[in-house]
Structure 1
Amino acid sequence: MLNMGGPATVSETHDFLRNLFLDGDLIPLPFQSLIAPWIAKRRTPQIEQQYKDIGGGSPILRWSELQGEGMAALLDELHPATAPHKSYVAFRYARPLSEETARRMKEDGVKRAIAFSQYPQYSCSTTGSSLNDIYRKSRAGLFSGIDWSVIDRWGTHPGFVEAVAQNIESALGKFPEEQRGDAVVLFSAHSLPMSVVNRGDPYVLEVSATVSAVMNRLGHTNPYRLVWQSQVGPSAWMGPQTRDALKGLARLGKKRVVLVPIAFTSDHIETLYELDLEYGKEAHELGMEVHRAESLNGSPVFIRALADIVAQHLKEKDAGAPPTSVQMGLRCPGCSNVTCAQQKSFFARSGTL
């Protein structure tokens, strides 16, 4: 289960930020090995305070493990031919990093594994970065002897869509019935630099497809928009920013909003601090009533969806399907990342070097 992760304790914040800013797939920087540690050190006090404000660390590992255990238990029933199933978490920037996960898998004698992205929508900067990391670690011998396949995107899976829609309905239910239909459903996803978008990254398209599927499930009962959060640095990023959208809606007289994290599968700093504390406070000051749809966290519907996604993948593999999707094999038209090409070839060969 591949994800970016988050520091479980406040003291892990600096290492998390250093790892994040060193990742050229996520944040390309000039002289990255020199500049990234400096940025991490400079930002650490501010981000440490944010983790203190949400309870002393990120809950993403706890939720990932709970989701994985529930998924594996269901898989034993849904696809007994490959039972017993076991889930492992591999974070990109926080523990457990891929090195630790590789050690655990080796100790358990794992010979067959699925690299299952926990980003529902594909981006080279998220799923791509995690897959690049597994490829590099495999070249270093850490994941030797494993037959790999990949689940790289699943943003329109009916179970995922249903889980999100149910949480939106619960949030809409907090408004008086006579006001409910006027509430704006504001889907918020992590933004991307326009340089990444313009080279052909599919993320924006895939997030849009998720939003469309969710609104179809809801019957288009409410007006909605897709907005973007978590911009870093001065360069141009995908917009509008969530904060600016809330201000704009208030100016237009739209004071009732359901805020929906649409690219995150569990709570972490971008939901608990950025959406709940930061934007929530600003919206309140604007006279708005904002309710955030809960993250998927321990949703049984979502955990069942994860199991269904993997079970279908295994059945397709049994029927002779290739180890990766057709879409994963296509590089962005503007891609110049050599590792990306090597990684795609590696997984297309089931992890054979």
Structure 2
Amino acid sequence: MTGGSVDVALLAYGGPETPAQVAPFLERLMGRVPDAATVAAVKERYALIGGASPLPGITVRQARALQGRLTRDLPGPVRVRPGFLYGEPSVTDCVRALDAAQVVALPMSPFSSRLTSGRYRAGLAAAEDRAAGGAGRDIPLLEGWHASRGFVGAVSRRIAEALDGSDAREWAVLFTAHSVPVETVAAGDPYVEQLRQTAAKLTRRIAAGGSRFGFQSKGRGGGEWTEPEADAVARDLAGEGWKKILVVPVGFVSENVETLYDLDVVLRGHIEDLGMEYRRTRPPNDSPQFIEALAAVVTAHLAERPATPADRAENLPADG
């Protein structure tokens, strides 16, 4: 492993932390000014989950915990800072404040997709564009850790916590993740295949009665989206005689409106209307197991990277 200082940009989508931030957040997300009806509908959703998104705060805690873990694991100084695609601090502000010998970006999505990691790469490129004031660095994006032992173990721990004290064989597990346009998958996007790989690894670790996969939070833009939808899978499970469903939002590493509203309000209502019991696992958030998994992604990358002139310069004696 190379020595020297290390900076990590911990990248996430972001979310409104107050009702007043809903409209600006939507404008960034949509790329246009949202109409009043859309703003009102989204504000209503956030009102039902406490008035704001918990995601930014969770990301800040993840960054602090990861910095503490990497400080123990690495020989040189370490900084971990959050940056958001659609919030503050922005990806640009985050990245331009980092100047260590080695700077890497770690997305808070373990799955590779042009709709997630692709946007993070575009954000990094914009931040580093020399014509726009950037430093011109090629900052690596540490993506595709969906099947890592650490991530799978962190989600497995959440499943075990949710089923603690229950007969796991009585529960059908419903893995969920955000739906994407079918055309994205048809173009070779690895997102769905990576989700299946993760779900398969998790299924081998748990003792539940059965497992299925369903997509949630389909976009409003029309067109075909990945199926089956989670509510349709729940309907099938009810038809098979299941009475209890444990929902595992494997596509999300932090609580957000899509877990707290789309699942805990909308999907829960659907499942209970079918006469079944609803239970959901928490995402990894800032659990010790998840922070350890993130640290492993960073240290594995650094171990494979050869020393650069900047690394060697940092390791010279002070009077060298």
Report the TM-score range of the alignment, normalised by the length of the smaller protein: 0.7 to 0.9
Structure 1 residue 94 and structure 2 residue 87: aligned?
A: yes
**CA gap 1:147/1:194 in 2 versus in 1, 3 angstroms:** closer
Amino acid at match of 1:133: G
Q: Tell me the SS of whatever aligns to 2:112.
A: coil
Match for residue 232 of structure 1?
219
CA contact (8 A) 1:187 1:261 kept: yes
Amino acid at match of 1:188: T
Match for residue 121 of structure 1?
111
Over residues 207-257 of structure 1, what are the superposed CA-to-partner deviations in whole Å (9 max), with x where a residue is unaligned? Answer: 111111112222x54311111001112211001111222223223321211
Match for residue 150 of structure 1?
141
Q: Unaligned regions of 5+ residues in structure 2, if any?
A: 1-9, 309-320
Q: Distance in 1 between matches of 2:211 and 2:238?
A: 14
Match for residue 122 of structure 2?
132
Task: Give runs of aligned pairs for residues 1-353 of structure 1, distance below 5 A.
Answer: 1-22=10-31, 36-38=32-34, 41-80=36-75, 83-105=76-98, 109-139=99-129, 140-144=131-135, 146=137, 148-173=139-164, 175=166, 177=167, 180-218=168-206, 221-233=208-220, 234-318=222-306
Q: Distance in 1 between matches of 2:134 and 2:50?
A: 35
Which consecutive segments of 4 or more residues in structure 1 shift more than 6 A? none
Q: Distance in 1 between matches of 2:92 and 2:235?
A: 43
CA contact (8 A) 1:74 1:307 kept: yes
CA contact (8 A) 1:75 1:307 kept: yes
Report the number of matched residues.
Answer: 297
Q: Distance in 1 between matches of 2:30 and 2:165?
A: 39
- Structure 1 stretch 238-247 or stretch 94-103: which is displaced more? 94-103
Q: State the Cα distance separating 1:49 from its structure 2 match.
A: 1.0
Q: Distance in 2 between matches of 1:195 and 1:217?
A: 32
CA contact (8 A) 2:11 2:91 kept: no
CA contact (8 A) 2:128 2:136 kept: no
Q: Distance in 2 between matches of 1:93 and 1:152?
A: 19
Q: Unaligned regions of 5+ residues in structure 1, if any?
A: 23-35, 321-353
Aligned CA-pair RMSD: 1.9
Q: State the Cα distance separating 1:145 from its structure 2 match.
A: 5.5
**CA gap 1:154/1:67 in 2 versus in 1, 3 angstroms:** same
Q: State the Cα distance separating 1:20 from its structure 2 match.
A: 1.3
Over residues 170-196 of structure 1, what are the superposed CA-to-partner deviations in whole Å (9 max), with x where a residue is unaligned? Answer: 222353x3xx30311100000100111
Q: State the Cα distance separating 1:2 from its structure 2 match.
A: 1.5
Q: Distance in 2 between matches of 1:164 and 1:47?
A: 29
Over residues 263-319 of structure 1, what are the superposed CA-to-partner deviations in whole Å (9 max), with x where a residue is unaligned? Answer: 111101001111112211222222111110111112111111111111111111147
Q: Tell me the SS of whatever aligns to 2:279.
A: strand
Q: Tell me the SS of whatever aligns to 1:226.
A: strand
**CA gap 1:126/1:312 in 2 versus in 1, 3 angstroms:** same
- Structure 1 stretch 83-92 or stretch 247-256: which is displaced more? 247-256
**CA gap 1:259/1:181 in 2 versus in 1, 3 angstroms:** same
Q: Tell me the SS of whatever aligns to 2:214.
A: strand
Match for residue 351 of structure 1?
none
Amino acid at match of 1:186: L
Q: Distance in 1 between matches of 2:226 and 2:212?
A: 14
